[in-house]
Structure 1
């Protein structure tokens, strides 16, 4: 809290696309380093690995705090995940947030042959193994989904926070129980305040540990004259709007998403606050609502702008929004 009692929230950058070539990350790494942005985030990708493109940025002179949001658990064993996260922190020379989640049922089936019977149990096991490995503890785990025994070697380096992708209250309780950071996507501020934050506290209190930090990756765009805002939503988020668990979460927020009518779903998202749009000052006001809801870090996601209008426009808009909200 500030002296005036207003919440203090960091502003970060979410890569608005998955780099197919490592050098594509450099403008965003540079903006993170030279602006007031707190961290650079990348998500799961089918065309490249975030650890490698972050490493390329570091080798190119841009060693900045980074986060992965959200890597899909079936892609890598938790022991491998811990080793990659530790290596990334040493490479970047800054703290890392390593975020994980079970992914959509269709992804689990494609990679594992069958979906997790209990994604919540699988996530609890995965996060527990990763955290113990990062702490240098002997890992002795025999669970429903993961069984392993190994003694990881520790190396000096910046800390790694283990994050959990959170959409609904049950996963928020798991995050409260065993994660350092809860990471949300397409979640309106009011939903975080009324549903996710209480569930995080409940899980943390049950486990006798601190409440995890809350990171909200927020889709955003400036409402310019003639700009098709619903079109931007569809351009950047059509995949998520078609996934049942996202649609179900949005309906919990009171946003009636029709997955068969994406333009209507996009309009509902804007009206419901799941996509932040307006003037620069209006965007700042809406983002302050996330801070007041208990969000510790906001990741600005301009994927819709990038897909529709290109990288130059997305970078210029990111810079303008950062100047508005972070004074940079």
Structure 2
């Protein structure tokens, strides 16, 4: 199981400078990948284009870019430009539906047919990423377009998928899935068998399963769990994540945080590896001293991965 890190956006006019420093440090620390979310802060692909052009030697991923607000041709254009800036073989494009409360209430799009939307979206996005023109007319997406962005290598796509139908789509059309707030039992009993069987049935390579979870090496687990409960509270209210927590038997997001001393955290990460996770991405969220302790421990795991 490869070990990566989740990048935290830090505010201020020098936020991209800080992000570049964080990517550079992650590469120097020996991590295999660094992932940036795309929510309401900086645009993830633009930020990774800046950071990737200045910090080399590490995979850069989005986790994830919501599809609804961007036409797939626009996203393909931006992703290929980011890949051009970062260098061949470095960008992995993680995409996802986001959530009804975001897509309908904030952006004003219809969230009524998410599976069809994503299937049709991929029918335009994937050929354009491979430098092929597209002529497609679906119920939710239409495109008659080609791109002239230089293409110096394939951009892999991961699909944020939790339900059985979306997992099958990820297996049949993309390189795998990227998860958040999904525990080891759920990966073992639901995510991994569903996506792996679908990939095998479609004659596709074994899919990547990228799992992002909050993690902290700490001597005060109770305080760390309380901090996780506050920081990630909203995810317990979103239906897709709530369903995964119910599968896991977790009361809330804090129960999914990986917390404890080095041996305890190592054991929990080993559980994820045995469940089928191919890439663990650490969401470091504690204070400075515990964050440094966590990073030092994760470095040892990355070195031996």
Please say whether Structure 1 and Structure 2 have the same fold, judged by a TM-score greater than 0.5.
yes
What does the per-residue CA deviation read over 1:109-129, in whole Å, with 9 as the maximum and x for residues that have no partner?
A: 035534322211111222232
Taking the TM superposition and a 5 Å limit, the aligned residue runs for 1:191-230 are 191-225=186-220, 228-230=223-225
* Count of matched residue pairs: 301
Task: Give the alignment partner of residue 287 of structure 1, picking from 269, 278, 303.
Answer: 269
Taking the TM superposition and a 5 Å limit, the aligned residue runs for 1:129-168 are 129-153=124-148, 155-168=150-163
Q: Is the 8 A contact 2:61 2:92 kept in 1?
A: yes
Gaps of 5+ in 2: none
1:3 corresponds in structure 2 to none
2:78 corresponds in structure 1 to 84
CA RMSD in angstroms comes to: 2.2
Deviation at 1:146, TM superposition (A): 0.6
Gaps of 5+ in 1: 1-8, 258-264
Quickly say closer, same or farther: Cα 1:141–1:247, change in 2 above 3 A: same
How far apart in 2 are the matches of 1:181 and 1:88? 20
- 1:302 paired with 2:278, answer no
Deviation at 1:207, TM superposition (A): 3.2
SS at match of 1:98: strand
Deviation at 1:52, TM superposition (A): 2.2
SS at match of 2:139: coil
1:122 corresponds in structure 2 to 117
Deviation at 1:134, TM superposition (A): 0.8
Question: Which sits farther off after the overlay, 83-92 or 206-215?
Answer: 206-215
2:246 corresponds in structure 1 to 251
How far apart in 1 are the matches of 2:16 and 2:218? 31
Q: Please list every run of at least 4 consecutive aligned residues from structure 1 whose deviation after the TM superposition is greater than 3 angstroms.
A: 16-20, 58-64, 205-208, 312-315
2:164 corresponds in structure 1 to 169
Deviation at 1:168, TM superposition (A): 2.6
1:5 corresponds in structure 2 to none
Question: Which sits farther off after the overlay, 315-324 or 286-295?
Answer: 315-324
How far apart in 2 are the matches of 1:295 and 1:84? 28
TM normalised by structure 2 equals 0.90
Deviation at 1:79, TM superposition (A): 0.7
How far apart in 1 are the matches of 2:237 and 2:49? 32
Quickly say closer, same or farther: Cα 1:54–1:63, change in 2 above 3 A: farther
1:277 corresponds in structure 2 to 259
How far apart in 1 are the matches of 2:189 and 2:22? 33
How far apart in 2 are the matches of 1:196 and 1:266? 18
- 1:30 paired with 2:20, answer no
Deviation at 1:194, TM superposition (A): 1.1
Q: Is the 8 A contact 1:277 1:283 kept in 2?
A: yes
How far apart in 1 are the matches of 2:107 and 2:220? 47
2:60 corresponds in structure 1 to 66
Deviation at 1:11, TM superposition (A): 0.5
How far apart in 1 are the matches of 2:189 and 2:221? 35
How far apart in 1 are the matches of 2:117 and 2:158? 14
